[in-house]
Amino acid sequence: MICIPVTAHDNETAILRMQQAFSLADIVELRIDSIRNADLKKLLAESGGRVIVTNRRQDEGGCFEGDERARMALLREAVSLEADFIDVEMSTDEAFLQEIHETIAEYRYKTNLIMSCHDFNGTPAYEKLLDIYSECAEKGADIVKIVTFAGTMEDNLVILQLVNHISRLKHDIIAFCMGPKGRLSRIAAPLFGSYLSFASLEPGAQSAPGQLTIEETRAINAILHHEK
């Protein structure tokens, strides 16, 4: 599956970009940390498919400038509005994470919790990546997302080894490398069982370094799967 991240400065632009994205991808990631005064009720009502709501902190590569309680409140609101997925960082304080779990349990509609860990400096050793995965799973993640930075081409092999191992255990994982040298993992990870891959709506709209466009991703997938 392909996910297109949607970033915008206002709600109206976000809705327009979501509509474009849903015509091209399976899932849309709504980056509410980039939207001024994000109106989640309006945004999710206008969605045309499954949505990941992400409210990323600045130290995790996002734009949210408020305090943690305000950030978590928006994610809990997304749960109450029946968002399909929310993305919460592994480093989130345990008390706030418990509130997220309680909110998910409160509603009949099951919002899936993606727990993410980003390393912008490099790719840890395979054993460390396994530890990160285990910690996220122990904290109640439905899907674990591990994103590292590729300083070498070999880093792609490390992350793909992780994806292959976890997917063979029948657990859901999203993992790939950022950066120009990480593009290989973005292409190959779904072939090894990554739950989804990310692609930008258009050139210049990348939400992370090394991200391919949806047009490039679909063209590569067509070649890999022998589609005309």
CA 223 to the chain's CA centroid: 25
User: Looking at 41, 42, 118, 128, which residue is catalytic?
Assistant: 118
Residue 128 bears catalytic tag: no
Whole-angstrom distance, CA of residue 100 vs CA of residue 94: 10
DSSP collapsed to 3 states, the chain: CEEEEECCCCHHHHHHHHHHHHCCCCEEEEEHHHCCCCCHHHHHHCCCCEEEEECCEHHHCCCECCCHHHHHHHHHHHHHCCCCEEEEECCCCHHHHHHHHHHHHHCCCCCEEEEEEEECCCCCCHHHHHHHHHHHHHCCCCEEEEEEECCCCHHHHHHHHHHHHHHHCCCCEEEEEECHHHHHHHHHHHHHCCCCEECECCCCCCCCCCCCEHHHHHHHHHHHCCCC
Residue 110 bears catalytic tag: no
- Identify any residues that bridge with 149 across adjacent strands, giving them in sequence order: 178
User: Looking at 145, 165, 170, 228, which residue is catalytic?
Assistant: 145
- Please identify every residue annotated as catalytic: 118, 145
